[in-house]
């Protein structure tokens, strides 16, 4: 019963956090209508072709594709990775058990902070935490089990924030009027990194004979994801309000 109670509490927090994202859709739509009210241009839904030609969309696809690639690769390989480094299964399971609570903690922070930090701000924080988490996992053979639990906390918070940042960034960067098409296109663009991550990690491990090389490559890819989100933010900020519809 305690497990069900805890699960129910986590689900409630997740629903509330997602409700904030839905409120963001409404706020973005109202903002765009207000901005267009004083002009002769009436906002319309973005066609899929227009979204596909938008460089901001592709930078977002690259950023969140990196998040998906790294997340799936680590998920499938973290147990043999840590066993290779001499960790007992009990320590590994305890570390993995922290991932869910860390994500819940991230959503609690999002609820408490609300609109005081922008989507771009949360995005920079989330991608930075994910990158730091990968670096800590790479150093897990140096600092021991204590550092491994710090990794679980930081990486879990980062991935928890990114789930909601993705929804909000589509609204703010690509427009609420094209939200459905943009979200669907983003999911399609992320399919390749999602389905190939585990195999790529395995091939890199086989080629190098160790997970050390795999993790340092993953760190470089994580930095590329942070840079892609930064470019998406910069290009979005250069737009006029009507261009951002």
Q: In the chain, count H helices and then E strands.
A: 11, 0
Cβ within 8 Å of residue 93, ≥6 positions away = none
Distance CA 243, CA 245 (A): 6
pLDDT digits (tens, 9 = 90+) for 55-94: 999 999 999 999 999 999 999 999 999 999 999 999 999 9
Write the DSSP symbol of residue 78. H
More confident residue, 45 or 225: 225
pLDDT at 201: 97
The CA-CA-CA angle for residues 71, 75, 77, to 5°, reads 120
Give the predicted TM-score (pTM) of the model.
Answer: 0.78
Task: Confirm if 177 and 45 have CB atoms less than 8 A apart.
Answer: yes
Task: Confirm if 103 and 159 have CB atoms less than 8 A apart.
Answer: yes
Percent of the chain past pLDDT 90, that is, above it, reads 53
Which residues in 63-194 belong to E strands, given as ranges?
A: none
Q: Report CA Rg, the chain.
A: 19
Q: Does the pLDDT at position 29 exceed 80? A: no
pLDDT digits (tens, 9 = 90+) for 186-214: 999 999 999 999 999 999 999 999 999 99
């Amino acid at each position: 019963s305690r497990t069900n109670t805890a699960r129910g509490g986590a689900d409630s927090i997740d629903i509330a956090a997602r409700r904030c994202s839905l409120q963001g859709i409404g706020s973005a739509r109202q903002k765009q209508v207000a901005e267009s009210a004083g002009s002769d241009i009436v906002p319309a839904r973005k066609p899929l072709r227009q979204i596909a030609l938008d460089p901001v969309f592709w930078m977002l696809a690259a950023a969140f594709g990196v998040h998906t690639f790294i997340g799936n690769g680590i998920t499938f390989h973290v147990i043999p990775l840590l066993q290779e480094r001499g960790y007992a299964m009990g320590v590994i399971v305890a570390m993995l058990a922290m991932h869910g609570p860390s994500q819940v903690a991230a959503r609690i922070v999002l609820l408490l902070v609300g609109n005081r930090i922008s989507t771009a701000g949360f995005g920079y924080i989330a991608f930075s935490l994910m990158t730091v988490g990968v670096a800590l996992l790479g150093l897990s053979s140096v600092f021991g089990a204590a550092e491994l639990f710090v990794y679980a906390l930081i990486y879990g918070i980062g991935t928890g924030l990114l789930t909601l940042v993705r929804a909000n960034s589509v609204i703010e960067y690509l427009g609420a009027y094209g939200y459905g098409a943009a979200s669907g296109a983003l999911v399609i663009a992320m399919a390749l990194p999602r389905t190939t991550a585990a195999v790529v990690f395995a091939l890199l491990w086989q080629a190098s004979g160790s997970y050390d090389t795999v993790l340092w490559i993953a760190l470089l890819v994580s930095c590329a994801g942070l840079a892609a989100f930064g470019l998406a933010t910069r290009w979005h900020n250069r737009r006029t309000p009507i261009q951002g519809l």
